[in-house]
Every structure is written in C-alpha cells, then in structure tokens.
Amino acid sequence: MSAVTGSSPDLHAVQRRTLGTLVAGQALGAVGITIGIATASLLAKDISGSEKMAGLAQTFQVLGTAVASYVLARVMAVRGRRVGMVTGFLLGALGAVVVVVAGVLDSMTVLLLGALLLGSTSAANLGARYAATDLATDDTRGRSLAIVVWATTIGAVAGPNLTGLARDVADTVGIPVLTGPFALGSIGMLLAALVVGFFLRPDPLFVAREHAGAAPAPPRGTSWKRVRRAVRERPVLAAATAGLGTAHAVMVAVMVMTPLHMEHGGAQLRVIGLVISIHVLGMFAFAPVSGWAADRLGRATTVAIGGVVLLVSLFFSGRSPEGSSWQIFAGLFLLGFGWSLATVASSTLIAEHAPLESRTDIQGAADLLMNVAAALAGGVAGLIVGAWGYPSLNAFAALIAAGTLAAAAAARVSLTRVATPAEA
C-alpha cells in the first residue's frame, strides 16, 4: 500500500521538491479562493434581494468543487497531478472573473456560474494534499499531507484580511465593492497555476507508479467500477469518506451563514473578515498537529477527536449573539480545527488504503461525495437560518457532527479486522 518502501535518495529528493512546490502553490491558490469567503454570501444577498438565497453562492462553489474533484481526478489519472492541478487553478481564475461580471450585471445566474467555476480551484487544492502522499512513507504520510494543508494558512489567513484592499481596488476600477475580493483572487489563482505548472516536475504520481512497477495509466474499465471494487475489498475507504463528508458538511453549513449572523448585529466587514480568518487559521495552521495525531495516535482516533471538537465548536457558535462576540470567535476557530483533525486523518486513511492502480479514482470520488454533502448542507443552512435562526442551524449541524463520530467508529472496526493496531 505504500508508494515508497525503500530509502532511495532520488525518491526522497523528488518528494522534497514535490512538497516545496505544493506548499507554494497552496499558499497562492488559497489567497485566490478564500479572499471572497467573507463577502460571497453578502454579494449573493445583495444581487438576489433574499437572505434565503445568500448561501447559494457558497453552495454552488462547493458543488463546483465536487464535480471538479472528480473530473480533475480523471485528468490526473492519465496526465498526472501537475496537469490536473493547473487546470483547476485556471478554471478557478476564470470563475473569479465571472463573479466580478455578475456583480456588474447584477445577475444571480452569472454569479452562480462563476461560483461553480471557482470550485475548480478548491478541487485543485484538495488534490494537492493527495499529491503530497504519492511518495510518502507509511510513518510520514499523515505529516506529509498535513504540511500541504498547513501551507494553505499562508494565503487563507491573508485572503479574508485583504477585503479592505479589495474594496479600494473595486472603487478604483469602478466595479461593485463586494466583487473586489474576487478580482484580486483571480491573480492568486493564476500565480498558483504558474508555480505548479513550472515546478511540479517530475510528476509524483508517475514516479510512484514507476517505482511500484505499475502501469503508467489506470487499467481499463470505468472509474466507478474501480471505486466500487476497492470499497468492497477495503471497507475502511467508505468509513473514511463518510468522515470527510460529515466534517466538511458541518464546516460549510455553519461557516457560510456566519457573515450574515454577524451582519445582523451590526458587525463591520473587517470584523467579519477577521472571524473568517481565525476560522481558516483553525482549519489550516494547526494541520501539522492533525498530521502528527494521525501518525502517532491513529487515523480513526484522530477522526473521532475531530468530531468531538466540532461538537464543542457548535455549542459556542450556537450560543453566540448577533454581531461580534467571543463565542463566535471561539466557535469558528474550533469549527476549523475540528475540520482539520477529521479531514487530515480521513484523507490519510484514503491515501493509505487506496490501491495504486485506482488511487486517483478513489480520491476523486471521495472528494466528490465530500463536497456534495457540504453543498447540500450549505443549501439547507440558508433555509434553516431564514426560518428558525442561526442557533437552530448549529443544532442541525450537531446531528451531522455525530455522523463524524460514527464514521470514526466504523473505520476503527474495519482497521482492526485487516490492519495492525498502529493503523487504527
């Protein structure tokens, strides 16, 4: 199951170069995709005139991520990680420009199209975490994945805090204020495409296949058949995917409606941006801790810890008053950290147990399902907040977080049947 079992200096050199490139690409891509998080729901509300439709922009972006995750995985299977990631960044940059056009035209339809395309950059970023594991050893796989997730901190924390600069840019070029972050974001995505396109050589997936003596391309047959066969043979893959999906659904559902909850209480845009930055800090800055936990405490155990942290976060955010409060700061930070623990550990399980010949198929399918679950949760979130309020949304999200704990338990049972105690 390991892509690398020996101690070849050449493989280690390729892995170091791969991680360095992925870190740089993640940082730039994260600026592009996160700078508009704090304003996406506000822009959707202004264009549609309805708070119930405010979550649609984020929901469509997550749907775009779901579709792009699977499509880019198919591209990676044949053309490698580099081509797949560059394609995702370029499509995302196009989506950011389309969002700006939507603001100028005051068109919800164009906005949702742009949001769909934006999801391609998120899919490329998700693919990067798996690229980090192609040449990793068994005892460093979680940490290698976590390093790339951590790199997102550089751009992701800076992104939402650039909303002030984006507002000035919007004023200067004469576009709506809330589209300024997307105009700046497109530049970050283009730079990420350049970095990955020039420096992710040799391609880690192709090197892993060559080292393992596998075919340079996936075997014949449909992708879904390979996925179903692998899941039947290794049920832990289904449990890990469930852990990914439930944790991501909780995070998206609450995060997407938090700016509106704060705006209702009169919070300024810069304060909303700060809360989102702290949330993103929780998601990415402590990823090395999540990777260490996955490698040392066990993958399933770390997923369970993530589920518990998510429940604690929902307690705080659910009790937060409208506007700015310490509860919303604490809740959104823990929401991000709980997501990090569950996502890093679940992703490590998938990278570890997916057969090499169908690795990209399984990873793409897992990210597809993960983002479909989040898109559904995000869509329902707007309806719940519109009808019953933000505290009810957090109660709804707690039910989903319980599913993360169930997924961790299922993973542990699967691992104890087929793996060593250290893997559980």
Residue among 138, 120, 142, 118 nearest 130 (CA) = 142
Tell me the pLDDT tens digit for each residue of 351-388: 999 988 888 999 999 999 998 898 889 889 988 998 89
What gap in Å lies between CA 25 and CA 422, rounded to an integer? Answer: 32
Which are the contacts of 6, defined by CB distance < 8 A and separation ≥ 6? none
Q: Would you state the pLDDT for residue 102? A: 93
What gap in Å lies between CA 75 and CA 87, rounded to an integer? Answer: 9
Q: Would you state the pLDDT for residue 394? A: 97
Q: What does the CA dihedral 104, 106, 110, 112 come to, rounded to 10 degrees?
A: 120
Q: Which residue has the tokens 């797949």?
A: 84
H helix runs in 80-179, sequence order? 81-105, 108-131, 141-158, 163-173
Helix/strand number for the chain, H first, E second:
17, 0
Which are the contacts of 16, defined by CB distance < 8 A and separation ≥ 6? none
Residue among 144, 390, 154 nearest 256 (CA) = 390
Mean pLDDT of the chain: 87
Q: CB neighbours (10 Å) of residue 52?
A: 14
Model confidence at 340: pLDDT above 80: yes
What gap in Å lies between CA 127 and CA 309, rounded to an integer? Answer: 25
Model confidence at 137: pLDDT above 50: yes
Q: What are phi and psi of 356, to 5 degrees?
A: -60, -40
- Binned at pLDDT 50, 70 and 90, residue 4 comes out as very low
What gap in Å lies between CA 343 and CA 149, rounded to an integer? Answer: 10
Q: Would you state the pLDDT for residue 241? A: 97
| Average pLDDT for 244-251 | 96
Model confidence at 13: pLDDT above 80: yes
Q: What are phi and psi of 337, to 5 degrees?
A: -70, -40
- Helix (H) or strand (E) holding 422, with range, is none
Region of residue 228 (phi > 0: left; psi between -120 and 50: alpha; otherwise: beta): alpha
| Average pLDDT for 99-104 | 92
Q: What percent of the chain has pLDDT over 90?
A: 55
pTM for this entry = 0.83
Tell me the pLDDT tens digit for each residue of 161-192: 677 787 788 888 889 888 888 888 898 899 99
What gap in Å lies between CA 4 and CA 8, rounded to an integer? Answer: 9
Model confidence at 5: pLDDT above 60: no
Model confidence at 159: pLDDT above 80: no
Tell me the pLDDT tens digit for each residue of 65-92: 889 999 999 899 889 999 999 999 999 9
Q: Token pair for residue 148?
A: 């790339």
Rg (CA), the chain: 20
Q: Which amino acid is at 290?
A: S
What gap in Å lies between CA 307 and CA 338, rounded to an integer? Answer: 6
| Contact predicate 363/307, CB 8 Å | no
Residues belonging to the chain: 424
Q: Would you state the pLDDT for residue 214? A: 62
| Contact predicate 58/252, CB 8 Å | yes
